[in-house]
Amino acid sequence: MKISLTLLTIFFLWFLSFLLFPYNHLYLNEINFLNSFTAGYIYCTMWIFSYILIVTSIYIIARYKKVNKDYLFILIINYILSQTLTFSLFELNNHIFASFSSISIFISTYFFYKETKKIDIVASLILLPSVLWSLINVILFIFN
């Protein structure tokens, strides 16, 4: 029971921006970010999947390994930057700020992967799809 409660708490914190700033497909269509209505939902689904993998990795590290200060620092940075993307896209409706935010997320996710790899290989492998998705996100914003 304690394990499930801990995992649910981490999930809730990571998905907080999705709860506070709901998905706005009209804005994404307006900036021609995605060509169809379903593509926008695929985009959000990929972020949700990415967040699930990040939370799983955090749980593995927190449950079974000793966490160092570098890991905690990059985790907090990655969390803050991840929350800003949803805010910049769906609340501010600012494409430029969202572009910088996505670049920052990619960089922080990459360093988060590297710090996780120092602690646990399996937990770092779980983060690889998140690193790849954040790179795809940067490409989507830059070439739009």
Whole-model pTM: value is 0.83
Percentage of the residues of the chain whose pLDDT score is greater than 70: 85
C-alpha Rg value of the chain to the nearest Å: 15
Residue 93 region by backbone torsions, left for phi larger than 0, else alpha for psi between -120 and 50, else beta = left
For residue 8, pLDDT over 90 is answered with: no
State the Cα torsion 11-16-17-22 to the nearest 10°: 100
> Please, which pLDDT band fits residue 115 given cuts at 50, 70 and 90?
very high
For 20-56, write each residue's pLDDT tens digit: 777 666 666 666 555 555 566 777 788 889 988 998 9
Average pLDDT over residues 63-90: 86
- Alpha carbon 116 to its chain's center: 15
